[in-house]
Structure 1
Amino acid sequence: MAKQLDGKTAIVTGASSGIGTAIAKELTKEGANVVLAARNGEKLVEIAKEINKKDKILCVPTDVTKQDDVDSLAKRAKKAFGNIDIYVNNADMMGSSRVTEGDVTNWDQMIDINIKGVLYGIHSVLPDMKVRGSGHIVNIASDSGFEVTERLTVYCATKFAVRAISAGLEKELANTGVRTTSISPGMVETPLSSKSPFEEGRKKLAPVDIARAVVYAVAQPDYVNVNEVLIRPI
């Protein structure tokens, strides 16, 4: 029986844990070839073994803060599977975010990963997508891109930026056949959130909830563009 994404190829950044791992697994279940990208190459290999579809998985250790790394990721994916149909910008960092604390090092890291990493990813695949007149960019933002939390000022700023990039890109790509989707999760049960003292006792989303939203967006007919999805726990 044919699956929704048979013949498609997707790149997922931040694929070594949490939401990224779940996205990679769900895309593979739907028939896609999936390129796993993250800094931890050993962890990527472990996840590839869990997925257990050797001919449909490629692991590429990647630092999204380095444009050369991201460009190389796209080239290796294209060499292995042909055209890249889906690019999921999922790599993310939540660091010290109060402006009053002045943790410039953390700010730089968040900006490099959460904003510049997204732009590098888009840049690496968009020219080919535009030439083909098809493709899908999925940016994982956050509900922190809708409302600023006092303790997360800088992090929220990066996620506002991801939503702005997504909204602007959607306008730039009108009538090109290339689609873009911004997905904004609320608190998700990940290693990061489980250590947060601010979220104790609150029911969180599961990573697979976000992964299913990605599949929903990218599996729509070519004339349907799901621009933005906001997902929060009840």
Structure 2
Amino acid sequence: MGKLTGKTAVVTGASSGIGAAVAAYLAEEGANVVLAARREDKLEEVLSKIDGNSIAVVTDMAKKSDVDALAERAVETFGQIDIYVNNAGAVLGSRLQDGKTDEWDQMIDVNIKGVLYGINSALPGMLERSSGHVVNVASVSGQEVNKVGAVYSATKFAVRALSMSLEKELARTGVRVTNISPGQVDTEIASKPSDRKRLEPGDIARAVVYAVTQPDYVNVNEITVRPV
């Protein structure tokens, strides 16, 4: 029996990369898993490889109605949401002088508002039960800034700020909060070349599993995972 048997986890951005790995690792620990992303074909492909109780729900995290419907489907199917992994993210043009305001809007909508919508949809049930875990996947770009990533970094700084504030807000409620900041990960959205081996999606998934399988009185607030 896995450490998460009987628990239900929602994983956003689960159609590939980190999200797909997180969903698979949580399922291996016995969790019921609800996979969410926009690409139905990719979601179904990931779902077919997961053992255990799992469903896929096509979801655009930039749309509050979609995010609310995702939570409703999870509760209808499995009874409640115990773990919510805000992993969906957009990495687009971030240099301010390029003026790509449409791409900035998309990153803000997914990376910030999507996280807020996810928290809002799952938190009431967690508070009612005095139990639950919100995991926000940020980035080392939310700790350090370079000259070509202003807007993306700003969104990931925001995710870290939300995580830090939420942890304080929920102190002694029984609901835990973890912020995970990956370094360069070998996924389909990785762009710039690297002179060292990138992390694998499974490396981040193991960090998620570590955080959510701690005893109820242990709140792992911050994990940064970098390649050597």
Residue aligning to 2:206: 212
Aligned equivalent of 1:120, options 114, 117, 121: 117
Secondary structure at 1:136's aligned position in 2? Answer: strand
CA distance in 1, matches of 2:2, 2:16: 25
- Residues 90-139 of structure 1: per-residue CA shift (max 9 Å, x gap): 00111000011111000000000000000000000101100100000000
CA distance in 2, matches of 1:66, 1:205: 30
Q: How does 1:167-182 map to 2 (within 5 A)?
A: 167-182=164-179
Identity %: 61
CA distance in 1, matches of 2:123, 2:144: 29
CA distance in 1, matches of 2:20, 2:138: 16
Residue aligning to 2:96: 99
- Residues 127-185 of structure 1: per-residue CA shift (max 9 Å, x gap): 11001000000000000000111111100000000000000000000110000000000
Residue aligning to 1:43: 42
CA contact (8 A) 2:27 2:51 kept: no
**1:90 and 2:87 are equivalent in the alignment:** yes
Residue aligning to 1:4: 3
Residue aligning to 1:163: 160
Secondary structure at 1:51's aligned position in 2? Answer: coil
TM-score (norm 2): 0.99
Residue aligning to 1:134: 131
Residue aligning to 1:30: 29
**1:221 and 2:215 are equivalent in the alignment:** yes
CA distance in 1, matches of 2:181, 2:51: 29
CA distance in 2, matches of 1:190, 1:83: 30
- Residues 26-71 of structure 1: per-residue CA shift (max 9 Å, x gap): 0000000000000011211111111143xx0111000000000000
Q: Gaps (5+ residues) in structure 1?
A: none
Secondary structure at 2:171's aligned position in 1? Answer: coil
The structure richer in helix per residue is: 1
Residue aligning to 1:109: 106
The CA RMSD measured in Å over matched residues stands at 0.7
Residue aligning to 1:188: 185
The one-letter code matched in structure 1 to 2:148 is R
CA distance in 2, matches of 1:205, 1:59: 26
Residue aligning to 1:63: 60
- Residues 187-230 of structure 1: per-residue CA shift (max 9 Å, x gap): 0000111xx2x324321000000000000000001000000000
Residue aligning to 2:145: 148
TM-score (norm 1): 0.96
Aligned residues: 228
The one-letter code matched in structure 1 to 2:94 is S
